Structure formats: C-alpha cells, structure tokens
Structure 1
Amino acid sequence: MSAPTWEQRGETFFLNLRFLLILCVFVSNAIEPLISRMMGMNSLYMWIFTFHMPLFVFVTGYFAKTSLTGSTGRKVLVQIGLQYVIFQTLYSILDVTVFQVDHIHHSFFAPYLLLWFLASHLCWRLILLLLQKLSPLRQIAAAVILGILIGYLPLDGTWLSVSRTFVFLPFFIAGYHFSFAWIGQLLTKKFRVIGILLSLTLFFALRIAGNELVPGWLYGSMTYMQLDTAYWYAGLIRFALYFLQLFAGACFLAFVPQRVSRLTDYGRRTLYVFLLHGLLIRWAAASPLYDYIDSYAGAFAIIASAVLLTILLSQPTVKKWTSAAIEPPVEWALHLERRALGNSGAVSK
C-alpha cells in the first residue's frame, strides 16, 4: 500500500483540525455566560478566541480550493445564501415564539449571532474572485490593509458582518493558498511539545492579564469607535493582534493528530454542528440552567456536555435528518438563474 500523498495527509490533518475547532466553538459559546463569574472560564474563553475563529476561517479557505470557480463555485455561493436565509428565519422565529428573547433586532441585513460566518463566507469567496489577478502575497497584504482600515469606518460593524468579513479575510486567503507540504515535515514530536507548551503559556498569560484584553478585539465584529479606541493608532493594535492570532493558531496545530481516525470522519460534518449547536446554546441561555451553576464542577459539566453534544451532532444520522436544511438542494435555483440569463440574452454560447 502506497504512502499517502501530501494532499491526502493535508486533507486528513485539516479535517481533524476542523473538528477540534468546532469543538472549541461549542465550548466557548457554552461557557460564555460563566466568564463574568469565574476567572478560569474567562481565561479559557479568551484563550480559545485567540485562535479558533482565525483558524476556522483559515481551514475554510483551505477547503475552498476545489470549489471557488466555475459551476461548483456558483453552486456553493447559492447554497450559502440559502443556508443563511433558512437559519436567519428559523432563529428569528424561535426567538420570538420559543426563547422569547428581547432587545434583538431581527433583520436579514444583521446576521443572527453565529450566522455572521455564512454572510462572511459568501463575501470572502466573492472578494477572492476579485483579487485573483494579484499574486498570493499581494492578496494577503491587501486583505491585511483592508482588515485594519475597516475599523476606522463610522458604522456598525455587525451590519452584513462587514467588520468580520474584512478582519478575518487575510486568514481565508492564506488558507486558500496554503499547502500542507509547507509544514508537514515540521510537525514532529519536538514541534508538538514546544507548541503545546507555548499554547499553555499563552493560556496562563491570559489568566494573569485578567481583563486587560478586551474580547471585542478578538471578535472582529466591532469598529474602533465601538471599542472606544477611535484613535489614529487603533489600526496598530489590530495589526499586533494579527500576530497574536497567528502565534496562537500555529501553537494550536500541535494539538492536531495527523492520522485518520473518528475525528477525521466527524470533521466532514462540522457544518451541521455549527448551524445546529446554536439552537442548543440559545435554549440553555433562555432556560434557568446557568442560574444553578456556581462552582467549577458545574462549569466542567457544561464543558463535558458541549464535547458530547459536538460528537452527537457530528453523527451521520444527524446529517440524514437535517441535510435538507443544512445543505439544501440548489439545482432549482441554478436552473432559474440559467433561464433568467437565457431570457435576457446573457448566456454565452
């Protein structure tokens, strides 16, 4: 049996990474109501946020290599759009009827909580298509500049997820152009030990720093004005944060196994965890559950539940019963597009 190619090894590695990241997403959302009460949970929350979204965007860019252009690219864009419409509608209806959450502005122009990722993912693909004539390094440089400059605009950063779209754009482009062969040979036992130690050092540094680092900077959803840092040097802070996120993300790679395992299979269905776990988080937040958690034993029970639920939502059975909403068929929409273009005389022969 021949040894796996770099491409095959890369797919396995990034599927394993994708599952670990969605696990971090679930855990961070689950412990968020506790971070103001428990310093340890706040440290864990901040540690996760230094790497999990930049790396998740990076992995998304990596897997976009084969589906950015052509008919496949159009299909993915339409599917992301349908996912956004379906879940933006579903979450809004549940907020009003079941969870009865007040003070939330429901609008298709304001992505609902985690749905910002869908809006931004669609935009990342479109922006990358526009930048394709530039070299990869110039694309990343342009993305970094845009990510810094977007913070100076006097607008609400959550509108159409415009802030997060540009703040995390460099990671999507970097992932798209990334080759696993660049780091495959570096993933030695020594690298893993060093990476894990540095990642733990970052955790304890955040623990010591306490509330010095404002979470809003790591969310990427707020402008400098919204962060109360509307000064000329605010862009330098975001530039420095890029290095922090790059460092934290590189260290976290040391935790990722390279072999094919159950994690690899789970990693193929992270979209299901991402879109469905919000329903569970919303239910827990609307219930009195967190009122009864006043110790680290309870907090660890919440974390354990998040881990188990992540595994549960990654099962093939969940995909079987929810695929119509999570991965809606788009052929009908593409057919309508072709008919519309044909009627307008825009179809090329």
Structure 2
Amino acid sequence: MFHVDAPPGQNEQSKQNEKNEQPKSRDAFFDNAKYLAILLVAVGHSWEPLKGDSRVLQGLYMVVYSFHMPAFIVISGYFSRSFDMSPARLKRLLTGVALPYVVFEIAYSLFSRYANDDPHQQITLLDPLYLTWFLCSLFIWRLTTPIWKLVRHPLPIALGIAMLASCTPAMTDDFDLQRTAQFLPYFMLGLVLRPEHFRLVRRPEARRLAVPVFVGALVFGYWAVPRMNASWLYHHDSAQEFAAPWWVGPVMTLAMFGCSLLLTAAFYSWVPSRTTWFTALGAGTLYGYLLHGFLIKGAGYAGLYDHAWLHRPYGVALVTALALTGVTLLCTPPVRRVFRFVIEPRMEWAFRRDAAEAARERQRALVG
C-alpha cells in the first residue's frame, strides 16, 4: 500500500468533513413536534370551507392558525443554524426546497386549471399558489441565514422588517414577499434558540401552564370572531388592505407575534420527548405538507363540501378525522418512496463534484 502525506491542515479538514458527514441521531421531540404541527396545518385547511357556519369552529380555526405555521417555522429556523454557503448545503437547498417549489407550483396550477375547470389559472413561478409559499419563503430565509448569523441582534431587526411590511401595501406580490417578511421573525427566533430553550418549555410546570394558556386562547378566539378579520393570521396583506390605519399593521404584528409565541411554547410543552408510534412520521412532514393540498382542494373542486350535513358538528368531526388520517398516510415511508424523486431528489448528475470530496476519494484510493 502507498501512503500519501496530506498538505498541512488537510488532515484536520478531512476529519472535520468526515465528522460533518456522519449521520446524526434524530431527536424524537422535534420529529414529534413536526408531525403534530403538520396535523394542525391539514386540519386548519380542512376547516376553511366549513368555518363560516359556526362561531365555535371559527374561533378554533383562529386559534389553530395563530400558531400552527409559527410552530413549524420556528423548527425550520432552528435546523437552519448550521446552514452556510458550502456546496453540499447549497445543493440540498436547491434540490430540497427550490426544485419542489417549481414542481408543486406547476402541479397545483395545472390541478386548479383542469380539476377546477379554471382556464384563467396561469402557470407562474412568481406568484406562489396555495401552500407553495412556504417553500419560496424557506428558500429566501435559509439563503440569507449566513447574513443573519453575522448580525448582533437579528430577532429585533426581523421584527422591524415584519412591522414595516405590515404597513407597506406597495410591496410586490412576487414570491409572496409580504408573507415572507411577516413570518420572518418566527424563522429568526428558531435561528437564535438553543437546545436549553426547548428543554425549558418541556418542563412539567410549563405543561401545566399550557392548560390555562390554551383555555384563554379558545375563549379569546370565540370572542374575537365577530371583532377581528381572521385574514390577519395569514400574514399576507398590509393594514391598508384591511381598510385599517397604517399604524395598526405594526401593532398587530407585535401583538400576533406575542400571542403566537405563547401558544407555540404551550404547544411544544405538550409534545412528547420520547419515541412514539408517530415519531418516524416526523421525517416525512414535507411530503404531508405538499401533498395534502391536493386532497383538500380536490374535495372542494368535487363539491364535497357542498353537502349540508358536513357543516354540522358530526360532519366537521368526520372531515377532521379524514384530514388527520390523510396527512398521516402521506407522511409514511411508502408515500415518501414514491414521491422522493420530486421532493428529495439527489440529482448528482446536475452538479459538479466538490473538489475536496474528489481529493478525499483519490486519497482513499491510493491508501487502499
């Protein structure tokens, strides 16, 4: 065998690269949290066509919408802490976020055009359709992560951007930048959180405090139904587009951030830390997120929501159960294997090989 001495510093760099490439054990808590959050996303979408007939359901809808995406986005920010401009992570960003956005933006546009018989539905990558906005926003958030990591106080700056966006009706709709800006503080919060912060909200006393928090939220949601436009919770528009004074936008942004943060912490406190029957499904939540929209929209296009009995309590319960079951099945390994080629493609053929990786392989070949 031949032994080739590496240049100074290369051995240390190789060891670090190999360490980074080693698979890390998954934390059951985060997989559980992602799965439970995606359940709430699917349930919220399934309630939307039904909520107009019931003040109770509208109140529940507002409570769910006030924290289900923030809870999901905080975790996305937390797992973006290690993102840098390395070739491996840029490839993952392109194949795991940008490509699925393109594919599902086109797929939902075609689905709306033909399943809903809407010839005016255009295919455009500039205007995210339905739930594809999250991929577009995640791409922007993650791509700018190295910049935010240089800033001394990123969360207050992100809140300032969100507040300014909430009173800027002239902001372009391209790539849903309004929603990207208004949800930015939740991603930034995840980016600055540390493991000890999540351990803090998982303490027994936090779980006990979560009970009055959710009870209070449900009461407030019921009270707010005739008094508040639920569209504020979408973070898609400015205050002026709600016919409100400009200063209401920043005030509502801060108020909703505080409420969402409180409910998100309460939600996390109830997430089990141990491995459960659904822990493995947490790895497939992106599949459930991107695919469940076809079920919800398909049911609407087929007129299934037009049945009067579905708008009664037992009908809502059935729709809820079907939404929970459907999104759970979409997170399972068989579904992931079928759709991996568009949601998590490898696409090694599309990229140049990393020079450092090629050098390591040549070194291993010489040593072997």
TM norm structure 2? 0.84
Q: Which residue of 2 aligns with 1:91?
A: 108
> Which residue in the other structure is 2:227 paired with?
212
Query: What amino acid sits opposite 2:63 in the alignment?
Result: W
1:5 corresponding residue in structure 2: none
Q: Tell me, yes or no, if structure 1 residue 14 matches structure 2 residue 30.
A: yes
Are the equivalent residues in 2 in contact too, given 1:83–1:325 (CA < 8 A)?
Answer: yes
Are residue 274 (structure 1) and residue 289 (structure 2) matched?
A: yes
Alignment partner, residue 300 of structure 1: 317
Across the aligned residues of Structure 1 and Structure 2, the Cα RMSD in angstroms comes to 2.2
Number of residue equivalences: 329
The match for 2:19 is none
Counterpart check, 1:286 vs 2:301: yes
The secondary structure found in structure 2 opposite 1:100 is: coil
In structure 1, the partner of 2:361 is none
Q: Check the 8 A contact 1:157/1:222 in 2, yes or no.
A: no
Q: Does 1:131 align with 2:151?
A: no
Q: Distance in 1 between matches of 2:84 and 2:278?
A: 26
Distance 2:201 2:247 in 1: 39
Aligned twin of 1:254:
269
Deviates more, 1:23-32 or 1:182-191: 182-191
CA distance in 2, matches of 1:285, 1:78: 32
Aligned to 1:58: 74
Q: Which moved more, 1:78-87 or 1:10-19?
A: 10-19
Asked which structure has the greater CA Rg, the reply is 2
* Cα drift, residue 266 of structure 1: 0.7
Larger displacement relative to structure 2 (212-221 or 233-242)? 233-242
Map of 1:74 onto structure 2: 90
Q: Taking structure 1 as reference, are residues 69 and 43 closer, same or farther at Cα in structure 2, changes over 3 Å only?
A: same
Sequence identity percentage: 28
Structure 1 residues without counterparts, runs of 5 or longer: 1-7, 339-349
Is residue 323 from structure 1 mapped to residue 340 from structure 2 by the alignment? Answer: yes
Could you say what secondary structure the match of 1:222 adopts?
Answer: coil
Counterpart CA distance in 2 for 1:47 and 1:233 is 20
Partner residue, 1:153: 168
* Contact kept in structure 2, 1:67 and 1:76, CA below 8 Å: no
Say which is worse superposed, 9-18 or 259-268, in terms of deviation: 9-18
Quick check: 66-75 or 35-44, which moved more? 66-75
CA displacement at 1:105 relative to structure 2: 5.0
8 Å contact kept, 1:158–1:221? no
Name whichever of 231-240 and 151-160 sits farther off.
Answer: 151-160
Cα pair 1:58 1:174 within 8 Å, conserved: yes
Return 104-113 or 251-260, whichever deviates more: 104-113
Compared CA separation, residues 205 and 10, structure 1 to 2 (3 A): farther
The alpha carbon displacement at 1:337 in A equals 11
